[in-house]
Amino acid sequence: MSKLVLLRHGESVWNLKNIFTGWVDVPLSQNGIKEAEAAGQKIAGIEFDVVFSSMQIRAMETAMIALVQSHSEKTPVVLHDDPEMKDKTGIYSEETLANVLPVYHNWHLNERYYGGLQGRNKAQVAEEFGDEQVHIWRRSYDVPPPNGECLKETAERTIPFFVESVMPLLAENKNVLVSAHGNSLRSIVMHIENLSKDDVLQLEIPTGTPMLYEFTQNKLKTQSLP
């Protein structure tokens, strides 16, 4: 029986400032660092085999800070796709390699692209366009923000990645951590739990709160963390 943990990054600096972030790369806030530490303590007893993160620093920070809390002797190490980085980051000790926890970054897990709203204060955008329009942009399934990405389009990249890259590992009895974002994880949970496009609009994934699933009989089932 393998385990899957989905973890939304801790509070970012722009979460704190109420600014649309999307693909803009901003770090965790001080509270976000504490959330990542607390999340790591909740999953410290799970021996992960593979970690996936988005390309964005807030998800990367959250994964690494959380994994530092682990009871495992393995060291999380980022494995790079870039040929130059891959060549220069080789590990030349079999003993060390045996205790490496591979961490992969992939853009398919990135947050929903907010287009023309990125970097803008949410309250100011609501004043300009109205609360109802902003709610539609933020919560509808298939209405994108100006020049941005709707949840449906986010799901079109996250779900194939999840099915092709994560599910086979679970089937091999490997434990997997995915560190990503509110909307990229909402789309994955929609797939896992077979939610309708109306159901997923009600789904909220809080920052720094790990979600645990167990893979058994070729299905993922929600489990509670201590």
Annotation marks residue 193 as catalytic: no
Adjacent-strand bridge partners of 212: 5, 223
Tell me the residue ranges of DSSP E strands in the chain: 2-8, 50-53, 75-78, 100-105, 176-180, 211-216, 219-223
Q: Note the Cα 183 to chain centre separation in Å.
A: 9
Annotation marks residue 37 as catalytic: no
Q: Please answer whether residues 208 and 32 qualify as being in contact, where contact means their C-beta atoms are separated by less than 8 angstroms.
A: yes
Q: Catalytic: which of 61, 111, 149, 181?
A: 111
Q: Catalytic: which of 9, 105, 108, 181?
A: 9
Instruction: Tell me the C-alpha distance between 52 and 60, whole Å.
Output: 9
**4-26 as b/e: b if 16+ CB within 10 A:** bbbbbbbbbbbbeeebbbbbeeb
**69-78 as b/e: b if 16+ CB within 10 A:** ebeeeeebbe
Instruction: Tell me the C-alpha distance between 179 and 35, whole Å.
Output: 13
What residues act catalytically? 9, 111
